[in-house]
């Protein structure tokens, strides 16, 4: 039997459409780790992220007939997972809305990011952002949604989305600067 990675998405899709359990399992095996990492970007607690992941996959299998094969199968699954994360945040009232402002420019970077900052450190910093900032930052900077799409998904104004993104960037810059200062002067922060 072929490994999960060798099976084409078209074959996986057709198998899931036919409600073939082994194909559903293969889809889960192929995409679960990527989708779990995505869920963790929105939901901090590992157990809750896992719950969101499972619910998301249940929706994938339940709504498989809605996949139109116009885009990638993995991209379609990713959209379902993002939506499931957003629904969890909304349901739990963890997402808060701030008053939008008419226009806001992204802040200028005053200090260059540390060359020592790796992806894991950056993800920890992103995960430490307030939920609203983190959600908009993930949707905009990582998922590639426009402010119009974010506003529609989160039921906020475009200006609120822009404001949340700006504040997230500003806070991340401060956190990166503080981290760089701590690394360059460890005795001052001991």
Is there a single domain that holds both residue 67 and residue 128? no
Is there a single domain that holds both residue 22 and residue 84? yes
Is there a single domain that holds both residue 131 and residue 176? yes
Q: How far apart are CA 61 and CA 24, in angstroms?
A: 7
pLDDT by residue, tens only, the chain of 190 residues = 456 667 899 999 999 999 999 999 999 999 999 999 999 999 888 999 999 999 999 999 999 999 988 889 999 999 999 999 999 988 876 455 443 443 344 444 444 444 556 778 888 888 889 988 999 999 998 889 999 999 998 989 999 999 999 999 999 888 888 877 777 766 655 5
Q: How many domains does the chain contain in total?
A: 2
Q: What is the largest distance, in Å, between two alpha-carbon atoms of the chain?
A: 63
Report yes or no on 190 lying in a domain.
no
Report yes or no on 82 lying in a domain.
yes
Domain span at residue 51? 4-91
Residue among 20, 14, 32 at smallest CA distance from 81: 32
Per-residue tokens: 189: 């922060």
Is there a single domain that holds both residue 32 and residue 72? yes
* Long-range pairs, 149-152, Cβ under 8 A, ≥24: none
Is there a single domain that holds both residue 20 and residue 74? yes
147-154 vs 73-91: helix axis angle to the nearest 10? 50
Q: How far apart are CA 174 and CA 169, in angstroms?
A: 9
Length of the chain: 190
80 and 139 Cβ atoms separated by less than 8 Å? no
Residue 135's domain is classified under what CATH number? 1.10.10.10
């Amino acid at each position: 039997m072929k490994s999960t990675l060798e099976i084409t998405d078209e074959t996986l899709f057709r198998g899931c459409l036919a409600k073939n359990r082994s194909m559903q399992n293969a889809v889960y095996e192929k995409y679960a780790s990527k989708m779990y990492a995505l869920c963790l970007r929105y939901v901090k607690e590992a157990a809750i992220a896992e719950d969101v992941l499972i619910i998301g996959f249940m929706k994938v299998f339940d709504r498989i007939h809605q996949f139109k094969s116009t885009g990638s199968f993995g991209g379609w699954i990713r959209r379902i997972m993002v939506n499931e994360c957003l629904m969890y945040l909304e349901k739990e009232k963890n997402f808060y809305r701030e008053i939008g402002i008419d226009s806001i420019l992204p802040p200028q970077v005053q200090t260059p990011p540390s060359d020592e900052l790796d992806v894991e450190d950056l993800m920890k910093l992103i995960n430490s952002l307030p939920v609203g900032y983190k959600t908009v930052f993930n949707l905009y900077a990582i998922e590639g949604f426009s402010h119009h799409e974010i506003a529609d998904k989160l039921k906020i104004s475009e200006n609120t989305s822009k404001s949340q993104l700006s504040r997230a960037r500003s806070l991340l810059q401060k956190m990166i600067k503080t981290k760089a200062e701590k690394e360059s002067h460890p005795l001052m922060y001991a």
